[in-house]
Amino acid sequence: MVFQKDQVRGKLIAVEGLDGSGKSTQIALLKRWLELESCKVVFTEWNSSDLVKSATRRGKKQRLLTPTTFSLIHATDFADRYERQIMPLLRAGYLVLADRYVYTAYARDAVRGCDREWVQSLYSFARQPDITYYFEVPLQVALDRILSGRPQLKFHEAGMDLDLSEDPTESFRIFQGMILEEYERQKKQFGFCVIDGSDLPENQQARMRAALTDRIDLSHYRRKTKVIREGYGKEVLR
């Protein structure tokens, strides 16, 4: 797999992991911390492009998607966000935080039967993140977190399209276990920064911040402030 190496001023930071690994909570905390550090930071998430959202929803609802079309729709979604959001902001010197990146497609599409090399070639236009945090958590822990907070699993979320089991909960367990195996293949290949998703939340966040400041000089991404005098000679930073 060869990633693009366009020269940009910004930095790309991604999180990956099973559903229920805690990655979304932690990247939200990281974003808030960077904002408090006056950094130029933006957030993007998987499967959120307005361009293909309606087509994806319709295809899932009517259960029309084959593994190949499923893969191509998500690749189109990603390409749209990449060209319209991610790359322009990286060129403008922002820290871009991505809740899931191409590695999600590598894992899910491979589990659905797509050729790994073919899937990776779909995303060959994408640049490699400067940091990819992988939230490693035991399968049962992730399952318990998801199942305790969700009254009903969605058809594709549970991997029901793969005919793994007639029971949605059991299908979800098998599906997530297969995805976990794919992530284990990837973590060394792509140099993930592994975070123990079973650790205390504050420890996870401390590990993320330490890894980030070790690799990225945040002084290059802080917003410039200036002192402005308001009424009665009061000075404020803006």
- What is the full DSSP assignment across 133-178? EEEE--HHHHHHHHHHH-SS--TTTTTGGGTS-SSHHHHHHHHHHH
Residue 126, helix vs strand vs coil? coil
Residue 4 domain-assigned? no
Instruction: Answer whether residue 215 is part of any domain.
Output: yes
Which CATH number goes with the domain that contains 90?
3.40.50.300
| Whether the predicted pLDDT of 233 surpasses 80 | no
- Is residue 199 situated within a structural domain? yes
pLDDT tens for each residue of 154-194:
888 899 989 999 999 999 999 999 999 999 999 999 999 99
Residue 87 to residue 93: CA distance in whole angstroms: 10
**Total domain count, the chain:** 1
DSSP conformational letter for 83: I
What range does the domain containing 51 cover?
A: 11-237
Residue matched to tokens 């991505």: 98
CA distance 180 to 218: 32
**Domain contains 127:** yes
Is 1 part of a structural domain of the chain?
no
Residues 95, 39 contacting (CB under 8 angstroms): yes
Report yes or no on 55 lying in a domain.
yes
pTM, full prediction: 0.87
Answer yes or no: is 19 within a domain.
Answer: yes
What are the tens digits of pLDDT across the range 94-117? 999 999 999 999 999 999 999 999
Cα–Cα distance for residue pair 175/73, rounded to 1 Å: 20
Three-class secondary structure of residue 189 per DSSP: helix
Nearest to 38 by CA among 170, 192, 222, 206: 222
Does the residue 16 lie in any domain? Answer: yes
